[in-house]
Every structure is written in C-alpha cells, then in structure tokens.
Amino acid sequence: MFIFMLLFSRQGKLRLQKWYVPLSDKEKKKITRELVQTVLARKPKMCSFLEWRDLKVVYKRYASLYFCCAIEDQDNELITLEIIHRYVELLDKYFGSVCELDIIFNFEKAYFILDEFLLGGEAQETSKKNVLKAIEQADLLQETKRSILKSII
Amino acid sequence: MPAVSKGDGMRGLAVFISDIRNCKSKEAEIKRINKELANIRSKFKGDKALDGYSKKKYVCKLLFIFLLGHDIDFGHMEAVNLLSSNKYTEKQIGYLFISVLVNSNSELIRLINNAIKNDLSSRNPTFMCLALHCIANVGSREMAEAFASEIPRILVAGDTMDSVKQSAALCLLRLYKTSPDLVLMGEWTSRVVHLLNDQHMGVVTAAISLITCLSQKNPDEFKTCVSLAVSRLSRIVSSASTDLQDYTYYFVPAPWLSCKLLRLLQCYPPPEDGAVKGRLVECLETILNKAQEPPKSKKVQHSNAKNAILFEAISLIIHYDSEPNLLVRACNQLGQFLQHRETNLRYLALESMCTLASSEFSHEAVKTHIETVINALKTERDVSVRQRAADLLYAMCDRSNAKQIVAEMLSYLETADYSIREEMVLKVAILAEKYAVDYSWYVDTILNLIRIAGDYVSEEVWYRVIQIVINRDDVQGYAAKTVFEALQAPACHENMVKVGGYILGEFGNLIAGDPRSSPLVQFNLLHSKFHLCSVPTRALLLSAYIKFINLFPETKATIQEVLRCDSQIRNSDVELQQRAVEYLKLSSIASTDVLATVLEEMPPFPERESSILAKLKKKKGPGAVSVTELEDGKRESGELNGGGDRGQDAASTPSPSADLLGIRSSAPVSAAPASAGSLLVDVFSEAGPAAPSGAVNDDGFLRFVCKNNGVLFENQLLQIGIKSEYRQNLGRMYLFYGNKTSVQFASFTTTVNCPGELQSHILQSKPVEPLVEGGAQIQQVLNIECLTDFSDAPLLNIKFRYGGALQNLTLKLPVTINKFFQPTEMASQDFFQRWKQLSQPQQEAQKIFKANHGMDTEVIKAKLLGLGMALLDNVDPNPENYVCAGVIQTKSQQVGCLLRLEPNAQAQMYRLTLRCSKDSVSKRLCELLAQQF
C-alpha cells in the first residue's frame, strides 16, 4: 500500500501531495521537508529505492519533476516504479505531453486523475483507457456546463 | 482527447496562480495570499449570494493556498455546500477540498455524511464514485460508522457498475484499516472472494487488495481465495502478451494484478490440494523461465514489470521455504542480478538474497556469491546499495566464512558512510562474538573496531568485550597484552582507554612479568591518557589505579601520589573527588588482606542476552529479518540486573523500535488480546482474584527450575525479572518490575499467595511503591523459608492501572523444592550403597521421556548443576550416564536425594530415576526435571 505520494520540483517546490494515512499537518510538513532534501541530494545514477526512517521510498525523476512514493515494507519496489510511470503516462496523455506548468495550473485535475488510478493507496484501475475514459466523462460535463454559461452571456 | 481547457474553466484561479508564481520573494507571496484570503472572506461573508461557479472558484483558490503550505481556517462550509450541487465539477471540487482539508467539526461531518449518503443512493455512477473516493480519502471513524454496512452491499450487488465496484472495494479496505471492528464481512465473505473471478480485470485488481488485507486478519474465513488466486494467476501467466489488451503493460500481461496475486498467496501456507499446488509450481517455474527469455522490448518499463513479478514470485518461494529446487533456482536468478548493470536490480537482488540466506535449503547457494557481494560493498557507488550488501554479508555469515566477512566489514568501516557506521559496528561485534572460535580473534576484532571507528562503538560493545574477557580465563592474558599494545598508539580513542583501563586493572598482572610491560610502565601508559579523557573515563581509570595498588604493591607510592594531588582530591567533579579521597584512604589504612578482598578480581558475569544484539534489534525494530539469534549457549533470556560496578549495563529491555513517523504504530495495547504463548495467565482480564491454577501456564515457570535469574514474564506493558539466591532452607528473591511504556502505572500492588500447605513459606514482602513511572523499574524483595517439602508453587498476583484500564495478572513464582538443595559429593561406592538403601518402591520415581532439546553433554551438565545437586563423575559404570546427589534442606527435616539420568542418543530418549528419603520429593523432582531435557 502507498503511504504517501509527493511530486516536487528540482528546486524542492511541492507540486502535489497525497497522503493515504492520517497524519497531522505538522508531521506532513516535516516528512515532506526532510524527504525532499534527502531525495534531491541523491545523484542521478543512484538506485531508485531507499530506506528512509522506517519507510521504503521509491522515486523517479521525470524532467524537472520528482515523483516520490513511500510504500509498506512488504510492497514491491519495481511495480511501484511502474505505478509512477503509469501515472506519468496518464498525465501525459491527458495534458498532451505534460510539463510542470500543467500540473501547477491544473492541480485539481492531477488530483482527480490520481484518484481514478489509485484509491486508498492501492491501484484501482491500471488500464490507461479506462482511467482516461472516466476523466473525459467529467470533462464533458464541464464542457457542456461552460457552453451553457457562454450562451447565457 | 477533448481539447483540454487547461484552467480557463476558472480564469480567476489561473490569474491568481500566475500572480503567485511571479512573486519575487516569500514576503511578496505572503502579501498576495493575504490579499486573496481577505477577498475570499469578504465574498463568503457578503450579503450577495454566490453562484455555484464563484463558490467553486474560491474554494479552489483556498485549496491552492493550503497546498502551498499555508493554514486555512475557513471555507469548509462553502465546500460542503458544493457537495450538494448537481453540477459535477462543483461537486468534484467540493469533495476534493473535503478530502484534503477534513475538519473534525462534528456539525460539518454530519453534513458531509449526508451529502455522501445522497450521492451513494443517487444511482448515478459518477456521483457514487466521487462519494466513495471521498470516504476512501478521509477514512475517518465517523465515516466508517455511517457507511461500513452500506458499502459491502454496493460492492457485491449485481447491478453495480464496474467502476463503482472498484471504488467500493478500496473504500471498504480503507475503512477496514481505520475501524476493523465496524467492517463486518460475514455474509459477504464468499461473494467478495469470488470477485477474483470477475470478468473485469479492473475489478479484480481493486478487489484483491481488499481480499489480501482481510485474509491477513482472518485467514481461515478467506481460505477459498487460494485456489481462485492460483487459477487466475495461471491464466495470466500463460496468456499471450496481447490477450489482456489494455491490461498488458509493455508486453507484460497484467503485471500489477500478477504481483498482487502472488502477494495474496503469501498470506497462506502452500496449498494442500495437490492439483492446485501443481498448478502454482508450474506458474512459478514459468515465471522463472521467462526471466531467461530475451526481452520483448528494450524499454525499462518492460523489464521492470517483468522483474517485479519475478521478485514477487521469489518472495513466495522463500515464504513457502519448502521447494529446494525452486529456492536454488531463485538464488541463481538473483545471483545473475547481482552483476546486472541496473542499480535497482542489484539493490533488490541483495535485499532478496538476505531472506534466502536464512533458509536451510538455500543458505549454501547464497554463500557461493560471497565474492560478488564483497565486491559490491567495495565498489557500489550508492550508499543504499552498499548498505544492502553489508546486510547480506551479515545474513550469509556462518562459522566457515566469519573471518573473511568480518575482515571485509572492518576494512569497509574505514571508509563507510557515517550514516551506517554505528550499525556496521554492531554487526561486526555480533558476528565476531557469535562465530568466535578462538577468543583472541574476538579480542583483536573488537579492539580493531574501537581503533577504526571508536566514535561509533557504543557502550554496549565495549561492555561486552569486557564481560567476555572476564568470563573466559583463557583469553585474559592475551587481552591484557593486546590492549597494552593498542594503548601505545600516540592517539587512541577514549573507548580504547576505557577497555584498557578496565582490563589492565583486572589482569595487568598477567603481563607484568615482561619488563617492557612492568607495573609502572602499565600505570604510566594509562596515566598518560588520563588528562585527555572525559569524567566517566577518568573515574574508571581511578578505579583501575586502586586495583593496581592491590595487584602491584610496588606501585602504591606512585599511585597514592597521583591520588593525593590537588587535581584529584580537590576535583570539582564530585564523583572524581570522592573516588580519589576514598581510594587514597582505603590504600593507606586497609591491610593487604582487606585490600585483596575488597579489590578482588571481578566475578564472572552471569550469562545473558548479548547487550549488543539487543541494541541491534532495537535499532532495526522488531521482526527485522537480518537479526538472527545468538546461539551456542552464550545466550539465555535477558537478565535484568547488570553485574559489577563499572561494567554495569542498562537493563536490556528491547523497547519497540522508535517508530519515527508514528505511521505504523502498533495496535493500542489495551485492545491487544493476550496473544503471546508465554503469557502466563489472562493478562488483560478485568476479573478480580487470581485465576485458578488450572489456567496458569507453566512455560515461564519451568524455565526457572534449573536457573535462578532471568525474565519471568514480559508483555507489551510490563517486564518482570527475577534474581534469587538460596542458602540451606532460606531464600531471597528480588523481583524487578519494569514499566515498558511511557505512561505511569497507578495503584500498582502485588500479593503473594501460597496455596494450601505452603501458607507460611514466604516470610515477608514489603509492599511496593504504588506508582511506577513510565520507563522506570521498581524492585521488591521476598524472603523465603522452606518449612517442609512442597509441590505447589506460590502465586504472585499483580494489579495496576494502565491508562485507566485495570490490569490483573497472576504468575507462578519459580520457587521449587530443588532450590533448597545442598550438593553432596560422594564416591562411587558410597553412592551405590545409599542407592540400595533407598530401595523401597515408593521412594523411587522414574520417568522415560523423549528429548525436547538437543542432547548436548555440556548443556545437560549445566542443567543438572543448576538443579543444585552435586554432579558426580566416575560413579556410574556407564560414562554416558549422569548421577547426582544432594540433600534438600527444609526447616522440619532434611531429605537425601539421588538422581540418575540415562540418555539414549539413538532413540533421543532419557530415563530419569530419583530416589529420595521422602517419597513425595522423589515424585515432585521427577515431574519437574522430566520437562527440562
């Protein structure tokens, strides 16, 4: 099970955070601060897994963004790397070659996509098609709503 | 893909985000945010009713501000209002806000739950999913109370859409994790298990996480999932890469589901049904075979997905630990990965091999990779990989390769990363002790350890080397010589000075014959380090000096001179001053005899759990695989009280590892059932008086028949240690009650009951302090007198309040009749003469029983000695047999006892015969002893 997932930039700016266990805001901030530092300090060719405090951490860098997950002890590291990759694929497909700015300006979308893909820290739907279908439906609802608005104006 | 309207759905939000990004400084950002917060507040408070769109926009802005790391204390109500909007996007933002920023405001929770309830019953799948996502994200107890009974229904209903089922499964999982008591599967169990057969792969993927978690908690109820999981796995493994369409990931069919299926199977032992097992073994073989096939794609995603399944399959093989063929294949596969160019694979191979090393089938196969692993330790560029290599070396170490591994670890230590040095030091110290064939090697290793990484050598490590040197006289001379040499180094670590001071103070005489290490040379060498050391080390050195005065009277004048000088006798540190004054006085007024008695060599330390091992366990946390137990009779269960004045150990109570994040905090103690087998009696029962002795478990009690000290009882709250001594018909028992929690125990009371005839055996016990602070230990002394022989043990009842709950516990005190033995030496002739005298049938008790432990001569002898009788050599014509003699001292009479133990190694059986002058004693001793071997 995922314990949390963090997306942060090379400068250490947090772009997305998802927590699958109840923690206080203070704890979350502390973990984020320390883990971001630890991961940013690692060199490019190093291994994607590390033991950090009591946690197994899996991370991967895509362009300027780091995707970083903490998982439970018995969880599979490699499959976690591919969960990260599939999430990146989903963002990429949705935004059309995603970049950091897309996630900054559409943070709520990044959360919605994540919720369709992972729920409660476990994979809910691993098919790219099915996840995107769910998101598209939501967007269609938005589109219709907006066009009504426009027609009123 | 529809043209995505990136954010222009809410222009105001996009503008705000750009503004924040354009802020040049933190101050500017805060200013901009405060302006926005004021704006939103006024909008929310304003008279004009906001339309849904504006509300959504402002709530979204608040969310953004919160995610930037600022506190948000309003807007919850507006977000909740959005939940009941019938516009999807408004609802969606409302739910997102609630998921990220839950507030425990009860009024709000009620409203949120109401909205969720409406959406769940809306029959609109998109709305239902949103509501389920929200429950899964928040997962609070209140939500569990409201929905735990509803969701299983949604999950298994025939007309539920697949996407809703998926969300429902994981939603239920989250609720089960927060409030297992509220999620009752009961009637749904079988239908949930059958979701493994669902047509829709997404449903299976989601449901299996739920099933795995439930199986871990209730394996029996979910047993049927094993055969379903095997057949599902088999279908996936044998499918072509295109069969599963979108569930194929870079030519690997359903990697996530495969991993989860293999993970689920790890909750169970190997399938009993032959056909199922055959099918599973076939799957595992196919997975291993596929690893050898050429890759279908060069993409790393392909190999990662494929290897993820492979590693999970290997975990299952290790979990079963019953198929030697598969274990060896797994080991070979991992061996290939050890040299793979991907760092990730090398890391995982090292990690996985650690567990393989502990299986008897694959231990040898793992050992063949020693050179590769040593090489990894030396050349890997990533510290986390080196750490894994060190762990693996530790795990694969045994007697055959200990010297090589310890040497490699020592040389690695010189350049090791600071973050792992302390752990490395502990590991080296443990391996050196565990596999020491000759103790001079052990001493060398530890001294090297101090030389190389002195700062990381914790007290436990140097205490331990001293304990071992003191307990083994064959190594004392060597140890003295070696520390003496080590101290010659111009700069040596303070820990070296401590060990040197202690050892020369005890055994300096063993090397004093050599003029190069004459008493004065030794003293001057130690004293040359004195001024550079910290106060505790100086105190230790002062004690070494006074020991020198006893060992070498010729140094007396020099040492008295040192003690007398102002920097000692007027030292501002009270401890140092006191030692100097007292030692000076002692050395001037005491006669040589008195001095020799007071400053006698330290007695051997009682055997105990290695304090370093306890420390490593503590560091690693309970359940760490790599910590194997120290064996070889060097270990008994932990002893509470450190012996000796200077080598005093902290009570080695391995506390549960400090859970840094508090994320995986263990279940609250009061809710834990009395689980461990060693618990003596219903620990958590609220019942009043002691349970009847029928319910008293004998395990802990029986361990003390042949020994007097150790831990009698331990659970999550309390540890009870015992130290006892007996002389003739009198005994004294020290009970140490240790509070393992950080919370005070209130109303702590203990009572000792002697059933029936024992009535007056325990003479007195002062009541204990009613409060035991968190982490503290209190002591109680019982004085015991044996009036007549007895067979029932006294009962100790302990009551206290922990966090309001009354804890009540009854233990058998290990006072047994054999404690009052006086050993009697006698020659063969006398023995058999007496043996014949005790020939009445009721005077003899005999038992033939199977060996419960190995039939090691030394262990048997130690136990018989522990029993308290004299072990007589050359008495029995058969040298394999053991005979003992002793007299039990009671106030009313003395009971002579003779014992004969005849082992039969071939049959792994013993025959035990006791003849005593009183028949009840023969019987009781026979019962007690029959369970010891």
Nearest to B305 among A77, A82, A119 (CB): A82
Cβ within 8 Å, pair B387-A82: no
First to last CA, chain B: 76
Q: Confirm or reject contact between B483 and chain A (CB < 8 A).
A: no
Angstrom distance (rounded) from CA B258 to CA B261: 5
B367 is in an annotated binding site: no
CATH number at residue A123: 3.30.450.60
Between residues A31 and B928, the one the model is more confident about: A31
- Has residue B717 got a pLDDT over 80? yes
- Has residue B714 got a pLDDT over 90? no
Mean pLDDT, rounded, of chain B: 83
Tens digits of per-residue pLDDT, A41-79?
998 889 999 988 888 999 999 999 999 999 999 899 999
DSSP 3-state of A51: strand
Nearest to B255 among A27, A51, A79 (CB): A79
DSSP 3-state of B926: helix
Q: How many CB atoms lie within 10 A of CB A12?
A: 13
**Averaged pLDDT for residues B274-303:** 94
**Averaged pLDDT for residues B507-515:** 89
Report residue B187 as tokens.
């009637």
- Has residue B870 got a pLDDT over 70? yes
Sequence-ordered list of residues with C-beta below 8 angstroms from that of B779, at least 6 positions apart, any chain: B734, B735, B736, B737
Give the number of beta-carbon pairs within 8 Å between A and B. 207
Are the C-beta atoms of residues B10 and B56 closer than 8 Å to each other? yes
Q: Could you write out the three-class secondary structure of B768-808?
A: CCCCECCCCEEEEEEEEECCCCCCCCCEEEEEEEECCEEEE
- Has residue B851 got a pLDDT over 70? yes
Amino acid, res. B236: I
Angstrom distance (rounded) from CA B154 to CA B165: 7
Q: Confirm or reject contact between B656 and chain A (CB < 8 A).
A: no
- Has residue B82 got a pLDDT over 70? yes
Helices (H), B179-237: 189-193, 201-217, 225-237
Q: Residue B9's pLDDT is what?
A: 67
Are the C-beta atoms of residues B131 and B92 closer than 8 Å to each other? no
Angstrom distance (rounded) from CA B282 to CA B234: 8
Q: Residue B762's pLDDT is what?
A: 61
Q: Residue B37's pLDDT is what?
A: 94
CA distances to B346, B347, B348, B385, B492 from B342, rounded to whole Å, are 7, 9, 10, 12, 42
Nearest Cα of chain B lies from the Cα of A126 at a distance, in angstroms, of 7
Nearest Cα of chain A lies from the Cα of B47 at a distance, in angstroms, of 23
Q: Confirm or reject contact between B202 and chain A (CB < 8 A).
A: yes
Between residues A68 and B617, the one the model is more confident about: A68
B43 is in an annotated binding site: yes
Cβ within 8 Å, pair A81-B304: yes
Most confident residue range from B184-193, B296-305, B752-761, B767-776: B296-305
**Averaged pLDDT for residues B252-268:** 96
Which of A17, A82, A91 to mutate: most B Cβ within 10 Å?
A82
pTM of the predicted protein model: 0.67
Confidence of residue B622 (pLDDT cuts 50, 70, 90): very low
Between residues B629 and A89, the one the model is more confident about: A89
**A140 vs B contacts (CB less than 8 Å):** 2
Report residue A26 as tokens.
């203070």
Chain center to CA of B540: 33
Report residue B832 as tokens.
């058999």
List the domain range (segments joined by +) for residue A115.
2-151
- Has residue B251 got a pLDDT over 60? yes
Q: Residue B501's pLDDT is what?
A: 93
Cβ within 8 Å, pair A112-B312: no
Nearest to A54 among B7, B173, B659 (CB): B659
Cβ within 8 Å, pair A78-B311: yes
Nearest Cα of chain A lies from the Cα of B385 at a distance, in angstroms, of 7
Tens digits of per-residue pLDDT, B539-565?
999 999 999 988 888 888 899 988 888
Percent of the residues in chain B that have a pLDDT greater than 90, as a whole number: 36
Nearest to A47 among B87, B88, B384 (CB): B384
Q: Confirm or reject contact between B387 and chain A (CB < 8 A).
A: yes
Cβ within 8 Å, pair A14-B69: yes
Q: Residue B191's pLDDT is what?
A: 92
Q: Residue B2's pLDDT is what?
A: 40
Q: Confirm or reject contact between B662 and chain A (CB < 8 A).
A: yes
Cβ within 8 Å, pair A81-B209: no
The total number of structural domains that make up chain A? 1
Report residue B703 as tokens.
């361990």
Cβ within 8 Å, pair B256-A123: yes
Are the C-beta atoms of residues B921 and B890 closer than 8 Å to each other? no
The ipTM (two decimal places) reads 0.93
**Averaged pLDDT for residues B897-916:** 87
**B170 vs A contacts (CB less than 8 Å):** 119-120, 122, 124
Nearest to B343 among A47, A78, A107 (CB): A47
DSSP 3-state of B552: coil
Are the C-beta atoms of residues B83 and B94 closer than 8 Å to each other? yes
Q: Residue A70's pLDDT is what?
A: 97
DSSP 3-state of B839: coil
B58 is in an annotated binding site: yes
- Has residue B182 got a pLDDT over 60? yes
Angstrom distance (rounded) from CA A116 to CA B100: 16
B529 is in an annotated binding site: no
Q: Confirm or reject contact between B354 and chain A (CB < 8 A).
A: no
Angstrom distance (rounded) from CA B384 to CA B315: 21
Are the C-beta atoms of residues B524 and B544 closer than 8 Å to each other? no
Q: Cite the beta strand spans of B137-266 per DSSP E.
A: 248-249, 252-253
- Has residue A153 got a pLDDT over 70? no
- Has residue A151 got a pLDDT over 50? no
- Has residue B186 got a pLDDT over 50? yes
Phi and psi dihedrals of B900, rounded to 5?
-140, 130
- Has residue B219 got a pLDDT over 50? yes
What does the DSSP 8-state code read for residue A99? Answer: -
Confidence of residue B568 (pLDDT cuts 50, 70, 90): confident
- Has residue B630 got a pLDDT over 70? no
Confidence of residue B103 (pLDDT cuts 50, 70, 90): low
Rounded (5°) CA angle B751-B754-B756: 145
Surface of B (286-325) touching A: CB under 8 A: 301, 304-305, 307-308, 311-312
